[in-house]
Structures are given as C-alpha cells and as structure tokens.
C-alpha cells in the first residue's frame, strides 16, 4: 500500500506543463493550430502538484528500493537435479551390485581402480543359459541406431577417387580417397545375408594366458579377432582360425616397425596371408596421424595381390554405436574395438561368446594379468586421457552375460 501511494505522490509531483487554451496548441514560430480541447487539471492533480519536493524524493527512493527487492526476490535453494531415467532391463544391474548403473569415468572411486572383487565372475558352463529372447531384443534395438550389415562397410559407390572426406574423430581435417583405397573397397556388403549359430569374439587380454581355450574358440562358426594379435605361438590358449580381423593402424609402427625394411614387410604380409579369404577390417578415416599407415597397408595389399577382403567402416558407424550404448546408460567416450565388434555382430550371430575381455591388472585370485596375452605392457585402465572406458564396457557386457544375452569367458576353458 505504501508503494502504491508513493507512486501516486511521485507522479503527481512531476512538473506538468500548463495546458494550452481551449481550441489551440502551440505551433512553429508562434503560429497556432486548432486541434483539441485540453481540460484543466483535476483537483487531486492540482493538490499533488503542490506537495513539497522532499516528499516526492522520498517517495521515489521508496519506490526504487521496493522495486529492487521485488526484482531480486528471496534467496532460494537450487532446485534438485531430476532423477535419471531408469536403465532398460537389459542393462539394469541387480540390487546386490554396488553400482546400480554404469558410472561415468569421472565418478569412478579410486577404490575401484583394479578392484575385481566387485565383479562376480560367473561363467561356469553349468550356470550359464542362453537367453534367446533377450539376444533377439538387443539385435532389434541395435537396428534402431544402425544396420551393421550396411554400416560395417564403406562401399565403392559411396565415395569416388579424389574426393575429400572428414575424419570421423576430427571433423576439421579431411582425407583424400586415393585410387588404391577406392579399388580395395567392396562393391557390396561383405556379410550380406550371412547368419551364424555361434561366433567367437576374441579380445587380447592377458586373462587368456593359460586358459586352454584355443580348441573351444576354433569350434565356433565364425571367429572375430581384434587388432592383429598374433595367434600361432599362443594357439593353445587363443586358437588359430580367423574369419574377421581388425587392425588398428597404430600397430604398424609399434609391432612392424612401420614396414621400413623387407623383413618387417614379409612378416606383416605373412600375417595377412594366414587370414586367407577372410575380412581385413581397417578403420581408415579415424584421425589424421594414422593416415600414413593406412596408405602403407593398402599399397602393400594391392601390391601383393592378397586373397583377403579389405574393408573399412562407414563414416557414421562409430557415432551410431556410441549412441546405442549411451541410450542404454553406458557412458562411454569412444567404443573399444571389442565393444564395436560385439554391437555389430549381434546382427549376424545368434550366440556371441567373448574371450580375452578383462580390464583389470589381476584376476579374481589376485594373480597379475598382463594387458595383452602376447606381450608385457603397462596400461592405465582409468586414465583420464584414455579415449576408452574399458571397465565400464566390461560391466555392461558382464551384465549381459549374467542375463544370458552373451557368454563371457573369464576363466580357463575345460
């Protein structure tokens, strides 16, 4: 009420101009123009105009303070963040697990950095049963984001020699499709219409050492191996057959000396010849630094006239796969090759069996586990700079194992 009266007092006290005489208004250079009659101020207005100037100033100050208080409003506690949507049944962790859903890399407590006791490993043959309904549901769910039969392969008709395409993980830089690369691309999807009863997806963790899983792996209908891991010296544990082989271009300088001499080139070619007519899958357009190795490999394949089928992923594949897992509350940064292959082969395989997936430095008995089964190499699974979130991926895949959608081997095969 005080503020309302203050407003009246203030506006009433403003200096009003004297009204023009009836029937006229001031014009330019003393001329007058008859427009409209303006009545004299009412009694209340004349009364207000006689109020002291101090009262007007006081009223204006009161109005200003009141306006400021109203505009600022009372202090309120920040609204609580909305509760996250519940995870789908396929990935929802049981109440007994410490984490109800996959934590983000920044939220993983240091106490879990290599604490395998939080993972109940359960892959004994008698306790695992295939859940065909769930596996089919996952296959259909993946199809909402991508079609692996189509998106797994970049086809010749989709690009032309000389065209510049953006790198998948560095959109500000471009790669030129060479004639050699274009000539190696398939003209049609290489797995079109193919379906398999069981598939083995073989990772490279040191958990495979001494596993004696080689013969079991080789009995599967289709076998996928990651990043050109060697097999012959370790065939008792990892098997020897390969139908689909991926290559990370960074392994070329690391394990094959950048093909700088004939001996290294011959060793690399021998590894490729062992693939026979299998598929050799090269993520060719990921980041600019790898391009030189991609060109070296494609030139070598073309020169040696190998019988294998070179292939490269479509430009949308990586983001589509990541989108699928994010939609299931698995907060990955970039999918590993293993997770990528599992997602893709849900399209082709009725059952998928995983081997060599273990992102921990020790097994459930506390024995040390090397990063790779074929070498001694240190790796920080929880590095902030790593592009992958392996423990989070493992948690999601192991949960699917518990539900029967896939089988994950983390112990010795019998």
pLDDT in tens, 125-152: 448 999 999 999 999 999 999 999 999 9
Q: 335-358 pLDDT, tens per residue?
A: 999 999 999 999 999 999 999 999
CA distance linking residue 152 with residue 189, whole number of Å:
8
Please give the residue that has the higher pLDDT: either 44 or 409: 409
Catalytic residue among 220, 353, 372, 388: 388
pLDDT at residue number 246: 96
Please give the residue that has the higher pLDDT: either 79 or 164: 164
For residue 327, which of 95, 101, 97 has the smallest C-alpha distance? 101
pTM: 0.71
pLDDT at residue number 66: 61
The residue extents of the domains of the chain are 1-15+41-67, 105-409
Give the residue-averaged pLDDT of 34-49.
42
CA-to-CA separations, 403 to 133, 190, 211, 238, 290, in angstroms, rounded: 11, 31, 24, 25, 38
Q: How confident is the model at residue 45 (pLDDT cuts 50, 70, 90)?
A: very low
pLDDT at residue number 67: 53
The torsion angles phi and psi of 355, rounded to 5 degrees, stand at -130, 145
For residue 195, which of 345, 347, 348, 346 has the smallest C-alpha distance? 348
Inform me whether the pLDDT recorded for 43 exceeds 70: no
Whether 129 and 404 have beta carbons less than 8 Å apart is answered as: yes
Give the residue-averaged pLDDT of 155-177.
91
CA distance linking residue 195 with residue 352, whole number of Å:
12
CA distance linking residue 192 with residue 121, whole number of Å:
35
pLDDT at residue number 141: 97
Q: What is the DSSP letter of 162?
A: T
* 397 class by beta-carbon count within 10 Å (0-12 exposed, 13-18 middle, 19+ buried): buried
β-strand partners of 351: 198
CA distance linking residue 217 with residue 342, whole number of Å:
16
Low-confidence winner among 74-88, 274-288, 348-362 (lowest mean pLDDT): 74-88
Determine how β-strand 32-33 pairs with β-strand 25-26. Answer: antiparallel
Residue 389 token pair: 């979130």
pLDDT at residue number 371: 87
CB atoms within 10 A of CB 111: 9
Residue with tokens 């004639």: 179
User: In the chain, what are the helix, strand and coil shares in percent, each to the nearest 5?
Assistant: 40, 10, 50
Q: What is the mean pLDDT of the chain?
A: 77
Q: What angle do CA 133, 136, 139 make, to 5 degrees?
A: 155
DSSP notation for 279-320: EEE--TTS-GGGHHHHHHHHHHHHHHT-SSEEE---TTHHHH
Whether 354 and 199 have beta carbons less than 8 Å apart is answered as: no
CA distance linking residue 379 with residue 139, whole number of Å:
32
* 350 class by beta-carbon count within 10 Å (0-12 exposed, 13-18 middle, 19+ buried): middle
Catalytic residue check, 113: no
Q: 377-387 pLDDT, tens per residue?
A: 766 666 666 66
pLDDT at residue number 22: 39
For residue 236, which of 197, 209, 261, 201 has the smallest C-alpha distance? 209
Q: 201-246 pLDDT, tens per residue?
A: 999 999 999 999 999 999 999 999 999 999 999 999 999 999 999 9
CA distance linking residue 359 with residue 356, whole number of Å:
9
Which CATH architecture describes the domain 105-409?
Alpha-Beta Complex (3.90)
Give the residue-averaged pLDDT of 287-309.
91
Inform me whether the pLDDT recorded for 178 exceeds 50: yes
CA distance linking residue 199 with residue 220, whole number of Å:
6
Using alpha carbons only, how large is the chain's radius of gyration in Å? 36
DSSP notation for 163-231: -EEEETTEEEEEEE--HHHHHHS-SS-TTTT--EEEEEEE---GGGTT---HHHHHTSSEEEE-TT---
Residue 254 token pair: 């690391």
Give the residue-averaged pLDDT of 84-92.
40
């Amino acid at each position: 009420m005080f503020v309302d009266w203050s407003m009246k007092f203030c506006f009433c006290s403003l200096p009003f101009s004297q009204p023009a005489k009836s029937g006229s208004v001031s014009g330019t250079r003393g001329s007058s123009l008859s427009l409209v009659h303006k009545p004299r101020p009412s009694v209340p207005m004349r009364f207000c105009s006689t109020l002291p100037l101090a009262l007007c100033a006081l009223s204006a100050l009161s109005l200003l303070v009141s306006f400021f208080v109203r505009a600022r409003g009372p202090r309120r506690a920040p609204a609580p963040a909305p509760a996250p949507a519940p995870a789908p049944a396929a990935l929802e962790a049981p109440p007994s697990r410490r984490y109800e859903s996959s934590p983000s890399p920044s939220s993983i407590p240091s106490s879990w950095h290599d604490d395998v006791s939080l993972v109940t490993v359960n892959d004994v043959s008698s306790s695992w049963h295939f859940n065909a309904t769930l596996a089919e549901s996952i296959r259909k769910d993946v199809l909402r984001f991508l079609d692996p039969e189509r998106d797994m392969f970049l086809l010749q008709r989709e690009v032309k020699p000389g065209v510049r395409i953006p790198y998948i993980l560095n959109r500000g830089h471009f790669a030129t499709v060479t004639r050699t690369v274009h000539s190696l691309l398939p003209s049609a999807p290489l797995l079109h219409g193919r379906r398999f009863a069981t598939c083995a997806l073989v990772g490279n963790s040191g958990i495979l050492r001494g596993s004696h899983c080689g013969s079991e792996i080789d009995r599967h209908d289709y076998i996928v191996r990651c990043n050109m891991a060697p097999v012959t010296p370790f065939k008792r544990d990892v098997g020897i057959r390969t139908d689909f082989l991926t290559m990370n271009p960074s392994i070329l300088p690391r394990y094959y000396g950048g093909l700088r001499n004939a001996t290294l080139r011959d060793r690399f070619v021998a590894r490729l010849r062992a693939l026979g007519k299998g598929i050799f899958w090269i993520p060719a357009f990921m980041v600019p630094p790898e391009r030189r190795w991609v060109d070296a490999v494609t030139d070598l394949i073309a020169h040696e006239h190998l019988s294998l089928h070179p292939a490269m992923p479509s430009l949308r594949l990586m983001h589509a796969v990541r989108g699928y897992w994010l939609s299931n509350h698995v907060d990955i940064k970039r999918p590993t090759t293993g997770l990528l292959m599992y997602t893709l082969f849900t399209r082709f395989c009725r059952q998928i069996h995983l081997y060599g997936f273990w992102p921990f430095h020790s097994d459930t008995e506390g024995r040390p586990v090397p990063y790779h089964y074929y070498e001694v190499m240190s790796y920080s699974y929880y590095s902030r700079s790593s592009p992958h979130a392996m423990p989070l991926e493992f948690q999601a895949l192991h949960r699917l194992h518990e539900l029967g959608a896939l089988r994950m081997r983390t112990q010795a095969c019998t």
